[in-house]
Amino acid sequence: MINVYVYEPIFQRNVLCMSPREHFDVGDAALAAQIFGRQNKHLKLIEKKLGIRLGSQGTRITLSGEPPQVAVGLRLFEELCLLLQDGMPLYPADIDYAIRILSSDSSTSLRDIFFDTVFVSARNKMIAPKSLAQKSYIDNIREHHVVFGVGPAGTGKTYLAMAMGVAALMRKEVSRIMLVRPAVEAGEKLGFLPGDLAEKVNPYLRPLYDALYDMLDLEKARALVETGVVEVAPLAFMRGRTLNDAFVILDEAQNTTAEQMKMFLTRLGFGSRAVITGDVTQIDLPRNNQSGLLHAIDVLINVPGIAFTYFSDQDVVRHPIVQAIVQAYQAAENRKQEHAAAQDAVDDKR
């Protein structure tokens, strides 16, 4: 006999016995069509991601492979059925995110993550977390005055912080948003830039404008910037200011010095919140300057009211190739550290 998991409208599973092959019955033809995807596209993706074999007949799915991976597959189909019944459209990227989440913690409810809507953009795009770390990040921003989001590129650190800031502004929880970034060249010498000071630093701030315009319609975003409700500024412009009733985002914080980080954090006034984002693997400071982000992690780790969220390559939500690139660089860095440690051990024996 085989282990049979039957999905029914009342969400009951009927288990007969344990066996290498298991079945999951969606129980509804319309739901099954959405889960399978056109020409079984979704099933093929799940096979590739989990390393299992899937077969389908009617509304029933047959799973075979390594027991831990099959168990994740069963949980995945359970959760996808619940999401679809709640009206969520299913895209290949969502399946990828779901597999990552359930592979990390199979007890997770995907509804608690994917339906935790932060903001609905002008294009009716729902902005919500897509990983466990993103969910933790959003919860930390809701519950703490200062939050650090630390991790590789493409994990949604700045974008989600921006969405939280815009949502807080729309709910009138804050009266303005401050978007701040250090003007540090990414390993390049840009030379003389024409124009006044604002025009010189504008290229460094462009990514923050891009995120803002992606969430609000163009005219509304421009009006908020022109009236100063949303201010985008280089970090150097923060000195001497006190920010009350503001949602403040410091992006690319790995390129601040320890002194600049302290200066920024002490600008916060009453009713303000700050989110600091950065990637400690992409520090562009001169070699003799310590990153203010690394220094802050050491100094502030136990301070009440401050939270830290750490992202990994598993949280990358850009093109799939970005995740592979991040993993490759991380592997290279690990090999470099292992080689250095082995060389130090040899030197100590001499």
Give the pLDDT confidence of 71-85 residue by residue, as tens digits.
999 999 999 999 999
Q: Torsions phi, psi of 250, nearest 5?
A: -105, 110
Instruction: Look at residue 274 in the predicted model and tell me its pLDDT.
Output: 97
Task: Enumerate the domain spans of the chain.
Answer: 3-114, 119-332
Instruction: Look at residue 114 in the predicted model and tell me its pLDDT.
Output: 95
Instruction: Look at residue 32 in the predicted model and tell me its pLDDT.
Output: 95
* Architecture field, domain 119-332: 3-Layer(aba) Sandwich (3.40)
Point out the residues of the chain with pLDDT beneath 70: 1-20, 184-205, 319-320, 346-347, 350
Report CA-CA distances (Å) from 245 to 168, 177, 182, 195, 271.
Answer: 11, 9, 22, 32, 4
Could you say which DSSP state residue 322 is in? H
Question: What is the distance in angstroms between the CA of the first residue and the CA of the last residue of the chain?
Answer: 64
Kindly give the pairing relationship between strand 146-150 and strand 306-310. parallel
Q: Which CATH superfamily is domain 3-114 in?
A: K Homology domain, type 1 (3.30.1370.10)
Q: Torsions phi, psi of 65, nearest 5?
A: 150, -160
Could you say which DSSP state residue 243 is in? B
53: nearest Cα among 40, 127, 93? 40
Instruction: Look at residue 14 in the predicted model and tell me its pLDDT.
Output: 40
Instruction: Look at residue 204 in the predicted model and tell me its pLDDT.
Output: 63
Residue 249 gets the label, from left (phi > 0), alpha (psi -120 to 50) or beta, of: beta
Instruction: Look at residue 212 in the predicted model and tell me its pLDDT.
Output: 85
65's CB contacts (< 8 A; 6+ apart) are: 50, 51, 52, 53, 73
Instruction: Look at residue 336 in the predicted model and tell me its pLDDT.
Output: 80
